[in-house]
């Protein structure tokens, strides 16, 4: 007897259909599995055999062959256990083959026959629907995320025995899954809670408006973290497409199954500086996504930037440019989306008080070492550099009403709309991405401004790269005022954000 069962495999955040073929024929009793299998998939043989046994089903003393097609795709993970078991049951005539047809099966089995959750169910189901599949049999613990895919008919089970019954009589009573006590919605952070730091807030608004990466330098306690945490709240709301994409990433990490809905807020991720390379950019044996991808469409905040391993930070260079990360291991490679707004914060020196020479105890040599922990190529990917001053007493205790995130967000949204309109024929969306070849077209200066920039170029000893960044940031500042042409005041403000960089890293080479 021969049967085919449909399942799916995750590659990055996309999925591919996989067909489990099961054949039982006369011959030497054996149980063989083929089809380019990784170690976990090869172990499925023992799990399936024992799980079936514990459900009271003894495999016949015949030749059992399982093939996972197509053979050119490497199969990893434990989600094939259930489809393999169903394929065998169907070949044995224990379940009704007609009831298996047209359904997709996903799930891990333990030795008792219980069905355990797997990662990536949301992309599997939503791609399945797109490819014309309607019915999905998934672990009960993954049911909630499977149901988030529009148009899917989902059957959730916690034990193999229940599935066998279902595939015989077709009766299904929808099980209620445990919805975790919905915690009282965490109070949404808001810029209204941030006193003072107008300069820093302004820089954040510019960063959010043109998606410019931003570095904040300032003493501990200046509010760098508090402000960064709130930047995600002033970015435009996620589109439906972005919500889907983000939710797929969280599903692949096994973080969607506990949620009641698709992710709807822009993420804010703030990994600790002791994070490993795989933790930050992704990797490990199953090439899982890292913090960088979990921050997709949102904010990646690196606090105490100088404390991160220099080699770890270097790995961010490519994805910050490409907006995706490609991970390669052995015979596999996957790509994850990674379009983030990078915010970074650091103290101005090892002791935290530079350039206040009354209090700073650092030697010139140790200062140099300190700043050298951030490489030039990484700094090149940061458009705006801003100094945070310690708060004054009035600012700290001030009762002045601060602008709310909502008010700021309305302005940012308007600025994004201007950019979408301007770049609708381009491959990029935001000012920070304007390639050098198009700077003249989008950031052209009039004669007076041109002469001024020439003068500043000489005076500050700028490099070409610095000059280009100033133009891009000035473009955003002009957009914030809905100005068609970049004007002197826009250039001046953009130059200010560069001079902070020059002050700490020395002129010219920034």
Comparison of 44 and 388: residue with beta carbon closer to Zn ion: 388
Taken in order 413, 419, 425, 429, the sign of the CA dihedral is: negative
CB of 215 vs Zn ion, minimal distance in Å: 18
Please tell me the distance from the alpha carbon of residue 445 to that of residue 507, in angstroms, as a whole number: 24
Secondary structure (3-state) at 65? strand
Please tell me the distance from the alpha carbon of residue 224 to that of residue 334, in angstroms, as a whole number: 34
Please tell me the distance from the alpha carbon of residue 449 to that of residue 492, in angstroms, as a whole number: 10
Please tell me the distance from the alpha carbon of residue 431 to that of residue 474, in angstroms, as a whole number: 9
Please tell me the distance from the alpha carbon of residue 356 to that of residue 131, in angstroms, as a whole number: 63
Comparison of 222 and 334: residue with beta carbon closer to Zn ion: 222
Answer whether 479's CB lies under 8 Å from 209's CB.
Answer: yes
CB of 216 vs Zn ion, minimal distance in Å: 17
CB of 504 vs Zn ion, minimal distance in Å: 12
Please tell me the distance from the alpha carbon of residue 136 to that of residue 148, in angstroms, as a whole number: 12
CB of 351 vs Zn ion, minimal distance in Å: 3
Cα first-last separation, the chain? 70
CB of 347 vs Zn ion, minimal distance in Å: 8
CB neighbour burial string for 4-37, b if at least 16 within 10 angstroms, e if fewer: bbbbbbbbbbebebbebbbbbeeeeeebebebeb
CB of 352 vs Zn ion, minimal distance in Å: 6
Comparison of 170 and 220: residue with beta carbon closer to Zn ion: 220
CB atoms < 10 A from the CB of 325, how many? 25
Q: Which residues bind Zn ion (CB under 5 A)?
A: 349, 351, 354, 360, 362
Comparison of 354 and 371: residue with beta carbon closer to Zn ion: 354
Torsion over CA of 192, 197, 198 and 204, rounded to 10 degrees?
Answer: -80
Comparison of 70 and 220: residue with beta carbon closer to Zn ion: 220
Comparison of 131 and 363: residue with beta carbon closer to Zn ion: 363
Comparison of 117 and 352: residue with beta carbon closer to Zn ion: 352
Comparison of 132 and 364: residue with beta carbon closer to Zn ion: 364
CB of 360 vs Zn ion, minimal distance in Å: 3
Q: Are strands 2-11 and 14-25 parallel, antiparallel or unpaired?
A: antiparallel
Comparison of 349 and 510: residue with beta carbon closer to Zn ion: 349
CB of 396 vs Zn ion, minimal distance in Å: 23
Comparison of 279 and 390: residue with beta carbon closer to Zn ion: 390
Burial of 58 per CB tally in 10 Å (0-12, 13-18, 19+): exposed
Please tell me the distance from the alpha carbon of residue 252 to that of residue 15, in angstroms, as a whole number: 11
CB atoms < 10 A from the CB of 40, how many? 18
CB of 357 vs Zn ion, minimal distance in Å: 9
CB of 353 vs Zn ion, minimal distance in Å: 5
């Amino acid at each position: 007897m021969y049967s085919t069962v449909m399942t799916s495999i995750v590659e990055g955040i996309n999925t591919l259909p996989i067909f489990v073929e099961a054949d039982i024929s006369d011959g030497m009793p054996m149980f063989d599995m083929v089809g380019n299998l990784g170690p976990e998939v090869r172990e499925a043989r023992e799990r399936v055999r024992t799980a079936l046994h514990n459900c009271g089903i003894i495999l016949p003393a015949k030749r059992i062959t399982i093939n996972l097609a197509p053979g050119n795709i490497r199969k990893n993970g434990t989600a094939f256990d259930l489809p393999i078991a169903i394929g065998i049951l169907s070949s044995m005539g224990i379940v009704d083959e007609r009831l298996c047809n047209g359904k997709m099966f996903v799930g891990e089995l333990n030795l008792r026959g219980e069905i355990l959750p797997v990662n990536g169910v949301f992309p599997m189901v939503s791609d399945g629907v797109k490819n014309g599949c309607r019915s999905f049999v998934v672990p009960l613990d993954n049911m909630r995320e499977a149901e988030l895919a529009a148009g899917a008919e989902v059957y959730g089970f916690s034990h193999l025995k229940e599935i066998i019954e279902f595939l015989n009589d077709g009766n299904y009573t929808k099980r209620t899954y445990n919805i975790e006590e919905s915690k009282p919605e965490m109070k949404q952070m808001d810029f209204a809670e941030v006193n003072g730091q107008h300069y820093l807030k302004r820089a954040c608004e510019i960063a959010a408006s043109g998606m410019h990466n931003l570095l904040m330098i300032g003493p501990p306690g200046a509010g760098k973290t508090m402000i960064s945490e709130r930047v995600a709240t002033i970015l435009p709301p996620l589109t439906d497409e972005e919500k889907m994409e983000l939710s797929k990433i969280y599903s692949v990490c096994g973080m969607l199954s506990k949620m009641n809905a698709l992710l709807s807020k822009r993420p804010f991720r703030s990994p600790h500086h002791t994070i490993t390379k795989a933790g930050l950019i992704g990797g490990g044996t199953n090439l899982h996504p890292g913090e960088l991808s979990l921050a997709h469409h949102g904010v990646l905040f690196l606090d105490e930037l100088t404390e991160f391993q220099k080699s770890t930070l270097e790995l961010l260079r490519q994805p910050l440019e490409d907006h995706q990360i490609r991970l390669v291991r052995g015979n596999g490679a996957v790509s994850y989306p990674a379009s983030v707004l990078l915010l970074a914060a650091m103290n101005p020196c090892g002791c935290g008080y530079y350039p206040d020479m009354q209090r700073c105890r650092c030697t010139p040599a140790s200062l140099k070492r300190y700043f050298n922990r951030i490489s030039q190529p990484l700094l090149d990917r940061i458009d705006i550099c801003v100094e945070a001053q310690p708060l004054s007493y009035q600012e700290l205790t001030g009762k002045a009403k601060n602008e709310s995130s909502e008010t700021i967000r309305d302005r940012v949204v308007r600025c994004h709309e201007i950019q979408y309109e301007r770049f609708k024929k381009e491959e990029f969306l935001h000012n920070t991405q304007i390639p050098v070849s198009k700077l003249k077209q989008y950031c052209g200066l009039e004669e007076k401004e041109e002469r001024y920039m020439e003068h500043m170029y000489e005076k500050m000893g700028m490099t070409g790269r610095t000059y280009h960044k100033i133009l891009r940031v000035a473009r955003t500042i002009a957009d914030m005022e809905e100005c068609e042409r970049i004007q002197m005041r826009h250039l001046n403000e953009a130059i200010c954000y560069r001079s902070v960089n020059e002050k700490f890293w020395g002129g010219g080479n920034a």
